[in-house]
Structure 1
Amino acid sequence: MSRDPRPSTEATDRADPLLAVEDLTVSLGGNEVLTGVTASADRGQFVGLVGPNGAGKTTLLRAITGALTPDAGQVRIDGRVVADLASKAASRLVASVPQDTSLSFDFDVRETVAMGRTPYISRFGRRTRADRQIVESAMARTDVAQFADRSITEISGGERQRVLLARALAQDTPLLLLDEPTASLDISHQIRTLELVGDLVADGRTVVAAIHDLNLAAHYCDDLWLLGDGDLLATGDPASVLTEDRLSTAFDADALVTRHPVTGSTYVTALPTSRGDAEGSVHVIGGGGSAARVLYLLSSAGYRVTVGALNEGDSDTETARHLGIDPITVDPFAPVDAGAREAVGDAVEAADAVVVADVEVGDGNLANLEAARRGDRVVLVEDRPFSDRNFAGERGQRIYEALKERGTVVGSRDLLGAVSEAVDSGGQETGATRTDREDGTESDESLSEFADD
C-alpha cells in the first residue's frame, strides 16, 4: 500500500496547525457563499463551527474535505494542499460525518462502518485482520456493535448518525469533520457523542464540528469559529467569540451571555423581541448565577423586577444590568452591610412577591434571606435541597424553614405559575404573617438576628 510522500518542508512541522484554511472563497450557483475565510486548528483541538442557517458552515466543511473546489484560497491539512491530492490520499487525512444520515444502499451496519477502511485498500486488495479490528473498535466506541448485523436502513436516524461516526473513526484520519453531529440525537446521546469527541481530541485528533446549539459548543469546544453571511466574524475561545454584540451581528437577535452557574462555561440565552403583559412587581434574591434564569423569565413575562443584594462582579449582577434591572449591590466579596440590608428590606416590602432563587447561603448573604421574611408572598426555588447549599449553619436553616412554612416551594420549571398566583393573591396575608406583624415577633427577631453583624 503506497502513500503520497510527505513534503520535506517547514509546513509539516509539528508546531504548525494541522488544518489551515487560507483566504478561502467559494461560490455555488453563481452566489458567493464563503468570502476570504482564514482560520486554523491545531493538533488535538476541538473547534466548533457556529453561526445561523445559511452562514456557510456546511460549505466550509465540504471545502475542507476537497469535495468543493474554491474560487480562491486553499486548504492545507498536515502541510498538504487538499486540492492537489488524489481522492484516497485526501481520505487518509480527513474524514467527515454529514448532517444527512439517509443512505440508499442496504448494507448491514458492520459493512457500512468497514467502508471507512476503503482509502487504505488497493484496487484488488482485501481487508486485513488489522482493518477488521479497527472496524470492531470503532463500533464499540460509538455503541453500535449491538446492531452490527442489522441493515443500515432498519435503524433510527440517531443510530445511523452514530454508525456514520463509527465509519469516520474507522477511517483513522488526523482530522475529523462533523456536520451537526447531535442534530438527530436525544439529549443523552448528544452528551455521549460530544464526550466521545472530547476523548478523540484528548487522543490527539483534531475535530471541527458544525454545532447549532451554542451552549453545547461553548461547553465542549476549545475554540469556536463564528460564521455570518459567508464571513468569518470571530475565532477564539468561547468566551471571546460568543459576545452579545457578535451574536447580534451574526444572528440578528438579542441574546444574554452569562456564565453557567454549575459548569462555569459561557452560556447564551436568547431574549424575546417583545415582553409579556404580566403585571406586578417581584423582588429576587440570588447570587452566583442562581438568579440569571429567574431574572430573565420574570422580566420577559413583563413583571417589574428588583434584585439584591448582590456583589459587584457577580454574574447575577451582570445579568440584571443586561436586562435593564438596577441591582442593589455591595462591593466584590463583601458581606451584605446594614445599608444594603435596609435597601433589600424596603424592596421586599414594596414588591408584590419575593422569589428566593436556588442560591447558596453563607454568613455574607444571610441578611438577604432574613429580609425575605418581610415579604407577604414568598416563592422559594428549590432545585437542590437547602442543606446542600446552606453554609450558614443552624441559623441559616432556621430562617429558611421559617420561609418555607408560609411560602411556596417550587422547582425552576414551575416558577412563573407560582409567581403569578402569589402576585394575584394581592394583599391577602397568611395567618402566620398577620400574627407576626401584630405582636411584633418577626420584626424583633429580624433585628436581633443581625444585631452583632
Structure 2
Amino acid sequence: MSRRNGSGETGKDAAIRVDDLVVELGGVSVLDGVDATVERGTFVGLVGPNGAGKSTLLRSVSGLLRPARGSIVVDGVSIAGRSSKAVSRLVATVPQNTSLSFDFDVRETVAMGRSPHLGRFERFGDDDERAVSEAMARTDVSQFADRSVTAVSGGERQRVLLARALAQDAPVLLLDEPTASLDINHQVRTLELVRDLVASGKTVVAAIHDLNLAAHYCDELLLLGDGQVLASGDPESVLTEANLETAFDANAVVSRHPVTGSVYVTALPENHRGDREGRVHVVGGGGSAARLLYLLDAAGYDVSVGALNEGDSDTETARSLGLDTVTVPPFAAVDAETQTAVESRVRDADVTVVADVEIGDGNRANLDAVRAARSLVLVEERPFAERNYAGAAAAETYAELRERATVVSPSRVVGAVAAAVDEAQNPTDAGRNSDATRSAQSSQSSHSSHSSQSSQSSRSSDHRS
C-alpha cells in the first residue's frame, strides 16, 4: 500500500484507491484526509493503536460508511452512490465479531455469500453451487457442511466466514482483526490461508493488531494514528522504532526474528524507558545474542559483550549499537588474554547474561570467565546437551553455573536482568525475594527446555570447532 503523490497519480494496477478520505462519526472526525493505494494481488495490513481508524477505513471501503469527503475506487469502480449489492460484488468482508445468532448449517451460511449475484427471486444455479463448494474446500470446512454454524469452534467459524466471503467472488477481501480471538495455531492457519489466496490473485486488506504477525505475512503495511496515515510501505520501512513511538507512544525494539527473518517488534514496559542504571555483560555468538543486545541496550543498561569472533553476526550487532565488544580474529579461539578481558567485564557487571549459544573448544573459555559473575542469567531455548561440542568439561562447567543462575526463556530476559540489577544495587530490599524468583523462573525454563527437546535448532555458531 502506498500513499498517493501530490499529482494524484496511482499505480495502473490498483485494486483500491482512497483519495482525501474524511469520515465523521457523531460529529467527530475519525479519518482525516487519508490517501492510499492497494495494488492488485497484494496482502496489505492495517496497523495502529486502538481508535486509530483501522475498522473505520475498512467499513468505508466496504461501503458501510459514507464519507464526509473524498473518494473510494475499487477495481476501477467508484463505490459512491452504489447499492449495497453492487458494492458487495466488488468487496467481500470478514467481520471481527464471528459470533452468529442464526442456526443455519455451515453450507447454508457459506451460500449466503452468493446473495450479491442473485436477483430477488432468482434461484441457485450451477455456478453458485460450484462457488460454494470451492470456497468450502479452499477453507477446509467441507466436513462441517451439515453442522450448525453455532456448534463449531471459534477457529472453525472464522474459516466458515472466510468461506462465505470467498463464495462472494469479489476481487477484494477485507478482514477486520481476523486473528483477534484465535489461539496461535488458528492464527497461523488463517493467515497462511490468506497468503495462499493472495498468491492465487486475490487482493486482501486486513486490520491486524499483532505487529509481528502483520510483519511476517503482509506484503505492505499502512500505519494509522489519530485517523491519519503515519507511514506506509514494506514492513521494514513502516515498523521502525520512531514510527512505533509516534503511533503507540511505546518504547519498542525492532529487530529480525532469528528463525523467519521477518521484522520483529518487542515493546518494553514503561519502567524500561532508558531510565535504569546497571552494567550487563552478555556472552553469545553465532547470532544467539543479537536480540538480547537490542533489548538490553534499549532498556538503558550499559552493555558489554564477548568474547566474539570478528565477522560474527553478534559482533556486527554490538558494533551497530556502539557496545563495548571483546573480540578475537575470525575462527580464532578465545585465548588466555582475551579470557582475562572477559573476566574483567564480568566482574564489573551487575549481572552476566549467557545466551543460548553453542559451545565448542573455541569459545569454552567464555564459560570459564563467567564463573566470576556476581549474578548470572542463563537463556535457554535448547538443552545444553544439544549445543555442547566441547565435551564433558564444558557440561560440568555449565551445570555448575546453572546451579546458581536464574534460567529464563528469551522473552523473560529483560525482567530477569532488571531483578538482578535491582538486587545488586539494593541488596537489602531486593534480596528477600531473589531466591523465590530464581526458583520459579528456573522451574519455568526447565519445563520449556524439556518440552523443546523434540525440536531441532537451525542456529549455527561461529565458535563451533
Q: Deviations over 1:410-445 (max 9, x none)?
A: 45177667985998699xxxxxxxxxxxxxxxxxxx
RMSD (CA atoms): 3.9
TM-score, normalised to structure 1, is 0.77
1:343 aligns to 2:313 (yes or no):
no
Mapping of 1:68-217 within 5 angstroms? Answer: 68-217=65-214
1:263 aligns to 2:260 (yes or no):
yes
Q: CA deviation at 1:100?
A: 1.6
Match of 2:462? Answer: none
Q: CA deviation at 1:174?
A: 1.5
- Return 134-143 or 218-227, whichever deviates more: 134-143
SS in 1 for 2:398: helix
8 Å contact from structure 2 (residues 89, 169) kept in 1: yes
Match of 1:354? Answer: 352
SS in 2 for 1:83: coil
Q: Residues of 2 paired with 1:15 and 1:400: CA distance?
A: 62
Q: Residues of 1 paired with 2:283 and 2:152: CA distance?
A: 49
Q: Residues of 1 paired with 2:354 and 2:344: CA distance?
A: 16
- Return 304-313 or 60-69, whichever deviates more: 304-313
SS in 1 for 2:17: strand
Q: Deviations over 1:144-192 (max 9, x none)?
A: 3333223223334443322211111111221110000001111100000
Q: Residues of 2 paired with 1:233 and 1:381: CA distance?
A: 36
8 Å contact from structure 1 (residues 256, 319) kept in 2: no
SS in 1 for 2:346: helix
Q: Residues of 1 paired with 2:90 and 2:235: CA distance?
A: 27
SS in 1 for 2:188: helix
Question: What is the number of equivalent residue pairs in this alignment?
Answer: 410
Q: Residues of 2 paired with 1:332 and 1:42: CA distance?
A: 48
Q: Among 393, 399, 406, which residue is 1:405 paired with?
A: 399
Q: CA deviation at 1:373?
A: 5.2
Match of 1:237? Answer: 234
Q: Deviations over 1:361-412 (max 9, x none)?
A: 578866645643555775543313557656xxx5x44664243231218451
- Return 307-316 or 144-153, whichever deviates more: 307-316
Distance 1:303-1:21 versus aligned 2 partners, 3 A rule = closer
TM-score, normalised to structure 2, is 0.76
Q: Deviations over 1:343-374 (max 9, x none)?
A: 32311233465332113557886664564355
Q: Residues of 1 paired with 2:17 and 2:354: CA distance?
A: 50
- Return 306-315 or 130-139, whichever deviates more: 306-315
Match of 1:439? Answer: none
Match of 1:19? Answer: 16
Give the residue type in structure 2 aligned to 1:204: G
Q: Residues of 2 paired with 1:250 and 1:315: CA distance?
A: 30
Distance 1:14-1:365 versus aligned 2 partners, 3 A rule = same
SS in 2 for 1:161: helix
Match of 2:48? Answer: 51
- Work out which of the two has the higher radius of gyration on C-alpha atoms and give 1 or 2: 1
Q: Residues of 2 paired with 1:331 and 1:61: CA distance?
A: 54
Give the residue type in structure 1 aligned to 2:77: R
Distance 1:105-1:232 versus aligned 2 partners, 3 A rule = same
Distance 1:334-1:26 versus aligned 2 partners, 3 A rule = farther
Match of 1:381? Answer: 379
SS in 2 for 1:358: coil
Q: Deviations over 1:235-262 (max 9, x none)?
A: 0111100111111110111111111111
- Return 116-125 or 226-235, whichever deviates more: 116-125
Q: CA deviation at 1:336?
A: 7.9
8 Å contact from structure 2 (residues 334, 366) kept in 1: no
8 Å contact from structure 1 (residues 26, 69) kept in 2: yes
SS in 2 for 1:18: strand
Q: CA deviation at 1:201?
A: 0.7
Distance 1:275-1:245 versus aligned 2 partners, 3 A rule = closer
Match of 2:249? Answer: 252
Distance 1:367-1:44 versus aligned 2 partners, 3 A rule = farther
Match of 2:453? Answer: none
Q: Residues of 2 paired with 1:82 and 1:397: CA distance?
A: 69
Q: CA deviation at 1:198?
A: 0.5
Q: Residues of 2 paired with 1:291 and 1:96: CA distance?
A: 42
Match of 1:42? Answer: 39
In structure 2, the gaps of 5 or more residues are: 1-7, 425-430, 436-464
In structure 1, the gaps of 5 or more residues are: 1-10, 427-452
Q: Deviations over 1:69-122 (max 9, x none)?
A: 112221111211122433333212210111122333222221111111111222
Give the residue type in structure 2 aligned to 1:403: T
SS in 2 for 1:152: coil
Distance 1:257-1:44 versus aligned 2 partners, 3 A rule = same
SS in 2 for 1:274: helix
SS in 2 for 1:249: helix
| % identity of equivalent residues | 59
Give the residue type in structure 1 aligned to 2:107: R
8 Å contact from structure 1 (residues 223, 236) kept in 2: yes
Distance 1:251-1:398 versus aligned 2 partners, 3 A rule = same
Give the residue type in structure 2 aligned to 1:174: P
Mapping of 1:435-450 within 5 angstroms? Answer: none
